[in-house]
Amino acid sequence: MKTVTTQTIRNKKKNNEIITMLTAYDYPTAAILDEAGIDIILVGDSLGMVILGYENTTEVTIEDMLHHVKAVSRGSKHSLIVADLPFLTYHTGKYEAVRNAGRLVQEGKANAVKLEGGTEVIKQTKAIINAGIPVMGHIGLTPQSINQLGGYYIQGKSEEKAKKLLEDAMALEEAGAFAIVLECIPTELARLITEKVEIPTIGIGAGSDCDGQVLVTNDILNLYSNMVPKFVKQYANLQDEIMKATSNYIRDVEQKAFPSKEHVFHIKQDVIDSIYG
Ligand code: KIV
Ligand code: NA
In short, whether 217's Cβ falls inside 6 Å of ligand 1 is no
Q: Which residue's CA lies nearest to atom 3 of ligand 1?
A: 44
Residue 143 Cα to ligand 1 midpoint, Å, equals 9
**Other beta carbons within 10 Å of 69:** 29
Residue 246 Cα to ligand 1 midpoint, Å, equals 29
| Model pLDDT, residue 224 | 80
| Model pLDDT, residue 254 | 98
Positions in the chain short of pLDDT 70: none
| Model pLDDT, residue 225 | 72
| Model pLDDT, residue 1 | 84
Q: To test the ligand 1 pocket, which listed residue (57, 204, 210) has its Cβ within 8 A of the most ligand atoms?
A: 204
Residue range 189-219, pLDDT digits in tens: 999 999 999 999 999 999 999 999 999 999 9
**Terminal C-alpha separation, the chain:** 62
**Residue 70, C-beta contacts closer than 8 angstroms, at least 6 positions apart:** 107, 108, 109
Domain 6-237 grouped into CATH 3.20.20.60 = yes
pTM of the model: 0.97
Residues of the chain with CATH 3.20.20.60: 6-237
| Model pLDDT, residue 140 | 98
Q: Distance between CA atoms of 40 and 29, rounded to whole angstroms?
A: 13
What ligand is nearest to the CA atom of residue 49? 1
Q: To test the ligand 1 pocket, which listed residue (26, 41, 84, 135) has its Cβ within 8 A of the most ligand atoms?
A: 84
Query: Which DSSP symbol is given to 125?
Result: H
Give the SS3 label for residue 57: helix
Q: Distance between CA atoms of 203 and 14, rounded to whole angstroms?
A: 17
Q: Distance between CA atoms of 217 and 22, rounded to whole angstroms?
A: 6
| Model pLDDT, residue 220 | 97
Residue range 174-189, pLDDT digits in tens: 999 999 999 999 999 9
Give the SS3 label for residue 64: helix
Query: Which DSSP symbol is given to 233?
Result: -
Does 46 show up as a binding residue in the annotation?
yes
Catalytically active residues are 183
